[in-house]
Structure 1
Amino acid sequence: MTLRDPTPRMNAAQLEAFLDEVFPQLHSGGRTYFVEEVGPMSARMRCDYHEKHLRPGGTISGPTMMALADLALYAAILGQIGPVALAVTTSLSFNFLRKPAPAALIGEARLLKLGKRLAVGEVSLYSQGESEMVAHATGTYSIPVER
């Protein structure tokens, strides 16, 4: 699985404060993304239902779902390695499974591999209160060399 210690280095509050510091633009127009939980090799994030995230037809847009998946994966990685702002997405593959309900969107990220230079994970997206996935993503992040 990994050579790293599975004990998280950052909790949800620390991670949210870090995101506020390095990505203040994330909350442009009001805060809608929240770190709910950080666990061993995992993180859970929420995107509140808001009109700025809707597409024609009144459903949550694909770019909003992709942003949540990317953020949740980033949160899971930083939870493990600590505040490394320059860890970057190198790939993100996305499968839209069903129309999300008009509710908050939950992203549950799980790391599959955490190496020295690359992290690979998956994210399951759910409408809050629903048990069926609305989307599934897999992604890879490049982790910068420690200096």
Structure 2
Amino acid sequence: MAAQTRLPQPVLTVEEIEDFLEEVFPQLHHGGRAVFVEAVGPMTARLRLIAHERFLRPGGTVSGPALFTLADVGIYVAILAHIGREALAMTTNLNINFLRKPPHGDVIVECRLLKLGKRLAVGEATLYASGAQEPVAHAVATYSIPAPAKR
């Protein structure tokens, strides 16, 4: 029987992450707060986008740029939860597949880190219309984690 690997535990709480995002990325809430961190767990994060009118495209569906942003922020939050307050961790690649039209309404992103190294993290994000079983989009992203500051 294979030994079970214990997943890394978050070092930041939901409240600490939301305070940090407010401090270093206030533009995320331009026009009113719409992105909320709902949970963080071992190598995971869940966020909600409240789909205000500003996120809609013609036809009343949530826009691709809004979904892309939610996926990017969601994986970033999963990383922050495990490495701490690191504003300079940055996206180096993000690929998203839009699977179906999300109706006007909240969007949930479930994120999972696939790799969390010292200098590189890879994660995936699955986005759902609130209450739906089938995903509306799926993204995979790579982030660069800066080296610790020398003291």
Number of aligned residue pairs: 145
What's 2:141 paired with?
Answer: 139
**Computing the radius of gyration over CA atoms, which structure comes out larger, 1 or 2?**
2
Which residue in 2 is equivalent to 1:39? Answer: 41
Residue 4 of structure 1 and its aligned partner are, at CA, apart by 9.7
Q: CA RMSD in A?
A: 1.3
CA distance in 1, matches of 2:76, 2:108: 15
The CA distance in 1 between the partners of 2:45 and 2:33, in whole Å, is 19
Bigger relative CO (Cα 8 Å, ≥ 6 apart): 1
Match of 2:117 in 1: 115
Corresponding residue for 1:89?
Answer: 91
- Structure 2: tracts of 5 or more residues without a match: none
1:11 maps to amino acid: T
Match of 1:79 in 2: 81
Alignment TM-score, normalising by the size of structure 2: 0.93
2:28 aligned partner, one-letter code: L
SS in 2 for 1:95: strand
Match for 1:21 among 20, 23, 29? 23
Kindly provide the amino acid, as one letter, of the partner of residue 85 in structure 2.
P
Q: Determine the C-alpha separation between the residues in 2 that align with 1:47 and 1:122.
A: 17
Q: Which runs of 4+ in 1 moved over 4 A?
A: none
So what's the TM-score if we normalise by structure 1?
0.96
**Partner Cα separation in structure 2 for residue 73 and residue 7 of structure 1:** 15
Q: Is the 8 A contact 1:4 1:115 kept in 2?
A: no
User: For the residues of structure 2 that align with 1:83 and 1:98, how far apart are their CA atoms?
Assistant: 34
